[in-house]
Structure 1
Amino acid sequence: MFSPVIESFWQSQFLAETTVFDSERLSVHINPALEEARRLVLLERAGGKLMVALKPAVAQQIGLLPQAGDLTPESVRLMLDEAGIALHGADHVFHFSDDSLAALLSEPQAAHIRALSAADEKEFAEFQSQASEQDLDDAWVELDHWAVFGAFDAKCKLMCAASMYPWDGAQIADIGVLTLPAFRGQGQAWRVVRAICRHAAQAGYQTQYRCQLDNAASIALARTAGLSLYGNWDVIAQDAEI
């Protein structure tokens, strides 16, 4: 069971005056209030139901009307394909369940993990210099984010870091994590993730952990850190034309 904050945030995208279709497998909502960059949103819940929200212009382009008749997840995806509407590419979205969050809050923090600040700029710059450009882009861990935590070795070298920033104005903090290659496989990442997530929870924020569907290592990290899959989230591609 997930926090009401999480449920309310995700469900808010699918609250609309016009519900085109609703069944056990699929719900489709026309929502004029969606941001232009997210004028088409899909959320496939871990239980299997696909939820779709789209602005009227997108609904019109694919021929989706309030009288659309019987629909399935497969038929809606086919309509998008036939209309030439590309998607950004789905992410797994993980959150802590209520029970997992309670366990997180009750555990002590490892002594070699702590919050980072501007005073750690030199150590953080050295840390980033040893990571590949691809790893830096994928993780997006920055010292000036809302919260930053790191794990240090016996020589005070930064081995792993995670940072968070508030997501879409909600009480949800999106997380990125990066471990230097030399320190992978030691369990540093999941310990740092739990430390920063505990900090976020104590500040009133729910953690959001996102990764691509084919990123097996990141999926394993999320589960080891105690997070549970909420669903798969996708939006319209940035360069899609409507």
Structure 2
Amino acid sequence: MSLFSPTIQAFWNTQFLVGERLSQDEDFTVVVNPNLGEDRRLMILSRADGRVHIALRPEVAEQLELARLPGLNEPLLRQELSEHHVQLHGADLVFHFSEADQHSLQLEQPAPGVRLLTAADAAAFAEFQASASEQDLDDAYVELDHWAVLGAFEGERLVCAASMYPWDDDADDDEQSKIADVGVLTLPPYRGQGHARRVIRAIARHAQEQGYEMQYRCQTDNTASAALARAAGLSLFGSWEVVAADDAE
């Protein structure tokens, strides 16, 4: 039985289990899906439960000559990627709240000093951005005009902010997934004090109230971000790799 909600399961199944299946092993699936977007024409999901799902467009399957490969498995497919010079982005770790932890979120009281941000907070948010490095701003991708923005204050100063935007899964508007990505940033002098944990849990609860479930992603080598995800109560769903944008077809 999965730790995660039907919404999360359905989201990832739509990404990786829709199309012509080239493998019969439930723990290792390869699916050819012509409806994948160009920037996701090849994706690999290595789940925390040990399952590996691969989805690719027909032209990529032809490029890799998968039809000629007997006993297709993950090492063999990755070997074919290397031999055909198909490059992948560095993997993202993907975290979600389990069903049990989602229920716990619903029962929590709002944390002191944490609240939704609006256009009225523009000056405080501008000061917050000015106090952060360009690298931190790029990595976190926290914006005041995102779908939902929450912040933690010390006095009148905004010291931590998280923003969220609904996931774009290339589906029709009526079929958009109810998953929202989150970014979070704490100013350096205020790190290690629990601000980011409280803001992450608060914005996840807000997403639930709007009918969405939060998704938290970070690069595999970002140990601090992964530690924050776990400290906030998120569970690892798996690692997700996507073909590099500048990969030559």
Q: Distance in 2 between matches of 1:87 and 1:215?
A: 18
Alignment RMSD, CA only?
Answer: 1.1
Q: Distance in 2 between matches of 1:15 and 1:182?
A: 45
Gaps of 5+ in 1: none
Counterpart AA for 1:161: A
Gaps of 5+ in 2: 169-175
Counterpart AA for 1:138: D
Aligned counterpart, 2:215: 208
Counterpart AA for 2:226: I
Aligned counterpart, 1:62: 64
TM-score of the pair, normalised by structure 1: 0.96
Is this contact kept in 2: 1:20–1:68, CA < 8 A? no
Counterpart AA for 2:128: F
Query: Residue 49 and residue 152 in structure 1: after superposition, are their counterparts in 2 closer, same or farther (change >3 A)?
Result: same
Q: Distance in 1 between matches of 2:24 and 2:242?
A: 20
Please point out which of 16, 41, 44 is paired with 1:39.
41
Could you tell me the percent identity over the aligned residues?
Answer: 55
Aligned counterpart, 2:21: 19
Query: Residue 125 and residue 17 in structure 1: after superposition, are their counterparts in 2 closer, same or farther (change >3 A)?
Result: closer
Q: How many residues are aligned here? A: 240
Q: Distance in 1 between matches of 2:58 and 2:18?
A: 11
TM-aligned CA deviation for residue 15 of structure 1: 3.2
Aligned counterpart, 2:159: 159
Q: Distance in 1 between matches of 2:43 and 2:66?
A: 15
Q: Distance in 2 between matches of 1:3 and 1:24?
A: 20
TM-aligned CA deviation for residue 24 of structure 1: 4.7
Which consecutive segments of 4 or more residues in structure 1 shift more than 4 A? Answer: none
Aligned counterpart, 1:7: 9
Please point out which of 47, 52, 66 is paired with 1:50.
52
TM-score of the pair, normalised by structure 2: 0.94
Query: Residue 98 and residue 16 in structure 1: after superposition, are their counterparts in 2 closer, same or farther (change >3 A)?
Result: closer
* SS across alignment from 2:229: helix
TM-aligned CA deviation for residue 39 of structure 1: 0.5
Q: Distance in 2 between matches of 1:25 and 1:104?
A: 31
Is this contact kept in 2: 1:25–1:72, CA < 8 A? no
Q: Distance in 2 between matches of 1:16 and 1:126?
A: 46
Is 1:178 the equivalent of 2:185?
A: yes
Q: Distance in 1 between matches of 2:26 and 2:82?
A: 23
Is 1:225 the equivalent of 2:232?
A: yes
